[in-house]
Structure 1
Amino acid sequence: MPRRLLQRYMPHPDVLKRNRSLRFMSGLIGNATLWVLTRRSVGNAFMVGLFCALLPIPFQMVVAAMGAWLLRCNLPLSVGLVWLTNPLTIPIIFYANYRLGAWLMNTPARHVPEQINIHWIAAKMADILPPLILGSLVAAVTLGLASNLIIRLIWRWHVARSWKRRARRRRHAEPN
């Protein structure tokens, strides 16, 4: 995996520790094991970050940080991946999760009216919430596990490819 590329875009822990709004988390930020880039830590970080991103809960970044701490995976990746669900993508992702949940529960999905407003959402919340939660959990677990597996496979493929390149260079560099 391109470790140097990931390190280039990751913030430095010392910069984050000096940030006023993050001082309460300085112990967590200062933990060196949460900044390591290995196949395991990056794969688990993708799993935690994408799992938290698909959950319809507040404070997803805090949940992702605690998940990174519990699984000892890369903290900045887990927290950064939560931004997959941002103000532009939340309606699309949560509607897809709702449709998945409605399909799994074998219930008809509610159709969205021409004009969505708070009153419509509040009136339909009891009908919307169970399929949304089920769909979000299924999508989060599936995407989290799949991303972990895919990252680990890509990482292994990249390492094997670099070993083969190195061996090829050595064979060509050896005097016969």
Structure 2
Amino acid sequence: MPKKTIRRLMPDHNTIKSNKHLQVFGALLHNANLWHLNRHSVAKAFAVGLFFAFIPVPFQMILAAGTSIIVHANLPLAIALVWITNPLTMPAIFYFCWLLGTWIVGGEEHEFYFEASWQWVVDSITTIGPEFLIGCGAAAITFSTLGYFAIQGLWRYHVIKEWNKRKVSRN
């Protein structure tokens, strides 16, 4: 994996520890395992970040941070991955989730519009809510699982490739 690239792009852990929104976690942020870049912590971070990216709730970053602390995932990476759903990508992702939920439930498609507000979520709970929430849950579970195993596989592949390079260079 491009460990050096990830390390270069990640914010300093002291900056994250001093973030006012994450102070609720207190001394738990001082666990060194939350800041290490290894195959397991990065794979867990992808699983956590991708899971909460598809869950349509406010404060996704705090939920991702809390889960990262519990499972010892890389905290900055998990928080950064939540931003896959941002104001620019949210309409397309949530439309996909609604289509997925409609397909799972077997319901009929009807007009879908999206507005990035809590009021939209409350108003649409009765019309498109069940399909949307089922689709978000299915996408969250699917993409977090795929992300976890993809990182595990890519990391292993990279390590094996590096070992083979060393073997060739020794001969």
What is the TM-score with the length of structure 2 in the denominator? Answer: 0.89
The answer to whether the 8 A contact 1:54-1:139 is kept is yes
**How far 1:16 moved relative to its partner?**
2.9
Q: Structure 2 counterpart of 1:97, which letter?
A: C
Aligned residue runs from structure 1 range 3-152, under 5 A: 3-19=3-19, 22-112=22-112, 124-152=124-152
Unaligned runs of 5+ in 2: none
Q: Distance in 2 between matches of 1:19 and 1:135?
A: 32
The answer to whether the 8 A contact 1:13-1:30 is kept is no
Structure 1 residues 102-111 or 118-127, which shifts more?
118-127
**How far 1:23 moved relative to its partner?**
4.2
The answer to whether the 8 A contact 1:101-1:131 is kept is yes
Q: Distance in 1 between matches of 2:162 and 2:154?
A: 12
CA 1:120 to 1:137, structure 2 compared with 1: closer, same or farther past 3 Å?
A: closer
Counterpart secondary structure, 1:127: coil
User: What is the CA deviation profile of residues 109-132 of structure 1, one whole-angstrom value per residue up to 9, with x for unaligned ones?
Assistant: 22137x97x998766430211111
Q: Distance in 2 between matches of 1:4 and 1:23?
A: 28
CA 1:23 to 1:125, structure 2 compared with 1: closer, same or farther past 3 Å?
A: closer
**How far 1:29 moved relative to its partner?**
2.9
**How far 1:25 moved relative to its partner?**
4.0
Q: Please say which structure displays the higher CA radius of gyration.
A: 1
Unaligned runs of 5+ in 1: 172-176
RMSD: 2.4
Structure 1 residues 39-48 or 20-29, which shifts more?
20-29
**How far 1:24 moved relative to its partner?**
4.3
- Percent identical: 38
User: What is the CA deviation profile of residues 8-46 of structure 1, one whole-angstrom value per residue up to 9, with x for unaligned ones?
Assistant: 111222233345555444523322110111111101100
Give the number of aligned pairs.
170
Mapped pair 1:163 → 2:135 = no
What is the TM-score with the length of structure 1 in the denominator? Answer: 0.87
CA 1:148 to 1:108, structure 2 compared with 1: closer, same or farther past 3 Å?
A: same
The answer to whether the 8 A contact 1:53-1:82 is kept is yes
